[in-house]
């Protein structure tokens, strides 16, 4: 079931459907009130679900893959399964394509970090051009369940983004991080930082120019761009946010007390730009029909950026919904994705 974002406040059956797709949605302490005119709490989580189930199919064939020299070790664990909403959307891809995408292959399941007993993995999508090449790191949204059988880097949306990057002359990096609940925001941020560190340390192995990296975040992954403000992430030269949440502080009531106000502030891009921290060149794609709670954080970020003459560019999809790059199969969606690729090409000097 796919619902336009403007119906979220008025459809009586929305809450029931979202709870069916995401059991345990209120486990972090959020409450959801049913009934006409009610709003959904914890929009950062709810709209991610909307983006995951609302993907437009692409006719591109599945990519080839190659084995990794360092892959996650086999472990014996309880069988995992994918919920129905994920099974339905797994093959669906972005609505934009360029020549050569289907020919690009990935080195799969490279371990970039060991987090306790869990091996966190990435896929490396390589271009036809010889390295070193600039890299695009795709940061998925959340929170999402941590026990999915099919992890985000293997969803059609991120597979197709990896292919797009490689066909455009970049090394595309898709990866899994630990944004499995609002109590895991700091863990997920640490994963992004450690991934960039891994890429810099292993740049030659993966054909990457370690000083030409872009972070491209989606939805609830937008706040994970926070580490790139100031001088915290060497080598990251630009940022892209698609329908991204850019401030977690409005969710304070739903976030566990174990995450302090100061820590939450550090995990909010709006704070960093307002504090005058260095902002890398940044492109923001704003969806006109996105959830008001998300667009409020986007608008707050843009206001602060303009006040400080920060290098931030905004492109609008006036009729775009949250997840327009997979949900809205129209010319404007394709133009916005193409403009993002051109922006990165310019910023990373990827000729």
Q: How far apart are CA 266 and CA 148, in angstroms?
A: 29
**In the prediction, which pLDDT does 206 show?**
97
How many Cβ atoms sit within 10 Å of the Cβ of residue 54?
23
Q: Are 66 and 109 in contact (CB under 8 A)?
A: no
**In the prediction, which pLDDT does 51 show?**
36
Q: Determine the average pLDDT of the residues in 190-215.
A: 98
Q: How many residues does the chain have?
A: 351
Q: Are 219 and 48 in contact (CB under 8 A)?
A: yes
Fold held by 55-347: Rossmann fold (3.40.50)
pLDDT at 318 over 60: yes
Q: Are 44 and 322 in contact (CB under 8 A)?
A: no
Q: How far apart are CA 88 and CA 271, in angstroms?
A: 37
Q: Determine the average pLDDT of the residues in 235-253.
A: 97
**In the prediction, which pLDDT does 92 show?**
87
pLDDT at 156 over 60: yes
pLDDT at 38 over 70: no
pLDDT at 54 over 70: no
Instruction: Provide the pLDDT confidence category of residue 234 given band limits of 50, 70 and 90.
Output: very high
Poorest-pLDDT segment among 69-83, 110-124, 155-169: 69-83
Residue ranges covered by each domain of the chain: 55-347
For the stretch 258-278, pLDDT in tens is 999 999 999 999 999 999 999
Instruction: With H, G, I as helix, E, B as strand and everything else as coil, classify residue 300.
Output: helix
% pLDDT > 70, the chain: 77
CA atoms within 13 A on the CB side of 22: 24
Average pLDDT over all residues of the chain: 83
Instruction: Provide the pLDDT confidence category of residue 61 given band limits of 50, 70 and 90.
Output: very low
Q: Determine the average pLDDT of the residues in 162-175.
A: 98
- In this prediction the pTM is 0.81
Indicate the angle between helix axes 14-21 and 43-53, nearest 10 degrees.
80
CA angle 307, 313, 317 (to 5 degrees): 120
């Amino acid at each position: 079931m796919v619902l336009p974002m403007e119906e979220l406040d008025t459809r009586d059956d929305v809450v029931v459907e979202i709870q069916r797709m995401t059991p345990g949605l209120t486990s972090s302490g959020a409450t959801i009130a049913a009934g006409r005119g009610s709003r959904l709490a914890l929009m950062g989580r709810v709209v991610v679900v909307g983006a995951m189930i609302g993907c437009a199919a692409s006719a591109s064939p599945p990519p080839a893959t190659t084995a990794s020299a360092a892959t996650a070790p086999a472990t014996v664990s309880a069988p995992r399964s994918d919920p129905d909403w994920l099974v339905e959307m797994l093959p669906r891809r972005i609505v934009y394509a360029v020549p050569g995408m289907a020919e690009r292959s990935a080195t799969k399941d490279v371990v970039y970090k060991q987090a306790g007993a869990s091996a966190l993995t990435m896929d490396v999508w390589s271009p036809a051009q010889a390295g070193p090449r600039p890299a695009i790191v795709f940061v998925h949204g959340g929170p999402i369940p941590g026990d999915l059988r099919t992890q985000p880097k293997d969803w059609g949306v991120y597979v197709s983004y990896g292919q797009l990057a490689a066909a455009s002359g970049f090394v595309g990096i898709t990866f899994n991080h630990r944004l499995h609940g609002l109590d895991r925001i700091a863990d997920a941020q640490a994963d992004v930082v450690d991934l960039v560190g891994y890429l810099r340390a292993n740049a030659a192995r993966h054909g990457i120019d370690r000083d030409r990296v872009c972070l491209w975040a989606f939805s609830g992954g937008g706040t994970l761009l926070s580490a790139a403000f100031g001088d915290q992430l060497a080598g990251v030269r630009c940022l892209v946010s698609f329908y991204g949440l850019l401030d977690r502080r409005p969710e304070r009531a739903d976030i566990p007390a174990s995450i302090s106000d100061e820590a939450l502030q550090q995990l909010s891009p709006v704070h960093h730009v307002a504090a005058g921290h260095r902002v890398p060149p940044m492109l923001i794609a704003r969806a006109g029909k996105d959830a008001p709670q998300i667009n409020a954080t986007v608008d707050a970020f843009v206001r602060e950026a303009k006040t400080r003459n920060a290098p931030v560019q905004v492109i609008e999809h006036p009729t775009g919904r949250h997840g327009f790059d997979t949900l809205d199969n129209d010319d404007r969606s394709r133009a916005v994705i193409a403009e993002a690729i051109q922006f990165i090409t310019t910023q990373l000097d990827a000729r």
